């Protein structure tokens, strides 16, 4: 029985890692779409459209019962706090996207996994082995080498991304708490309901009527963001936040690929070295978790 329990726990953790990795791929694709959109409309309007799209999908999938269950959920208030931190992080991040390349944006943002690991110790009481700390540091070193963010300076866009990293770190730790308390569809509905409330008035104040191409991008942002959030919630249910933190570095790989595909950005030689370190960090954390569970 003990061996079966260990096997189930290990499979659960690995499933959480895979789900979270897929979520970050979708988030990166969403980021590229939003970077295209922020040229012609406000971040508030994008968040407004995104929330409506996701809420519509929730209604189609869950129906009235989902909304009734959500109103009785014990996480209604905790989700309000977490959604406020998440929205603040995204507002900072996507406003900076107007001035920074996608790769630069992602690079500076990668203070977030380190913040998550530190906060998971103090706020969640998680024990973080040395190998996980090593994986976080290796991943951050890879990001630093790939983009060399020092040449960017402490401009307003860079400060906005750093603020986004800190706010997102807090939101991820809070997500770990709510993820264990409620099913993912309810979290998805609550999260985007609060986003809709927060963004409605500013979106109307800075309204820009979208054209057909923008409408298609807005729909894709909603679909990508909704699915990514659902996968992230499911991953958080299965795996400690400090284990998942280094996986966020995989977003950098997608950022470079999307930057080349959309804007023609050609990665430098340092990018490949940085990417190798980032992949090594991800493999280290997966391998360390596998070895620990076997012991």
> How many structural domains does the chain have?
1
Please answer whether residues 37 and 214 qualify as being in contact, where contact means their C-beta atoms are separated by less than 8 angstroms: yes
Judged against a pLDDT cut of 70, whether residue 231 lies above it is answered with yes
Determine the average pLDDT of the residues in 30-56. Answer: 92
Give me the chain's average pLDDT, please.
83
Tens-place pLDDT, residues 176-198 = 767 667 888 898 899 899 999 99
- Least Cα distance to 161 among 101, 108, 201, 207 occurs for 108
User: Where are the strands (E) in the chain, listed by range?
Assistant: none
**pTM of the predicted structure, to 2 decimals:** 0.78
pLDDT band at 41 (very low <50, low <70, confident <90, very high): very high
* Token pair of 101 as six digits: 């390349």
Judged against a pLDDT cut of 70, whether residue 11 lies above it is answered with yes
Of residues 245 and 34, the one with the higher pLDDT is: 34
pLDDT band at 60 (very low <50, low <70, confident <90, very high): very high
- For residue 289, the Cα-to-chain-centroid distance in whole angstroms is 22
Q: What is the DSSP letter of 183?
A: -
Structural domain boundaries, residue 8:
1-294
- Least Cα distance to 241 among 84, 82, 77, 108 occurs for 82
- Report the greatest alpha carbon distance in the chain: 61
């Amino acid at each position: 029985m003990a061996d079966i329990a260990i096997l189930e726990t290990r499979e659960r953790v690995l499933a959480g890692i895979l789900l979270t990795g897929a979520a970050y791929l979708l988030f990166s694709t969403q980021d590229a779409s939003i970077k295209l959109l922020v040229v012609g409309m406000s971040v508030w309007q994008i968040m407004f459209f995104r929330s409506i799209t996701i809420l519509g999908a929730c209604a189609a999938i869950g129906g009235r019962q989902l909304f009734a269950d959500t109103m009785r959920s014990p996480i209604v208030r905790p989700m309000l706090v977490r959604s406020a931190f998440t929205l603040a992080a995204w507002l900072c991040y996507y406003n900076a996207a107007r001035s920074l390349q996608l790769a630069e944006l992602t690079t500076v943002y990668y203070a977030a996994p380190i913040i998550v690991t530190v906060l998971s110790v103090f706020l969640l009481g998680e024990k973080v082995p040395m190998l996980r700390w090593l994986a976080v540091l290796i991943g951050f070193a890879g990001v630093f080498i790939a983009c060399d963010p020092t040449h960017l300076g402490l401009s307003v866009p860079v400060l906005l991304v750093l603020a986004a990293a800190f706010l997102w770190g807090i939101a991820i730790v809070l997500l770990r708490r709510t993820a264990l308390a409620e099913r993912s569809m309810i979290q998805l509905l609550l999260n985007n309901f609060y986003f809709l409330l927060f963004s409605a008035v500013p979106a109307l104040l800075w309204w820009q009527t979208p054209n057909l191409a923008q409408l298609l991008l807005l729909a894709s942002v909603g679909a990508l963001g909704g699915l990514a959030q659902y996968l992230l919630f499911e991953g958080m249910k299965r795996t400690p936040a400090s284990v998942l933190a280094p996986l966020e570095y995989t977003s950098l790989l997608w950022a470079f690929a999307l930057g080349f595909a959309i804007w023609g950005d050609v990665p430098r030689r340092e990018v490949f070295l940085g990417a190798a370190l980032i992949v090594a960090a991800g493999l280290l954390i997966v391998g360390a978790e596998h070895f620990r569970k076997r012991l």
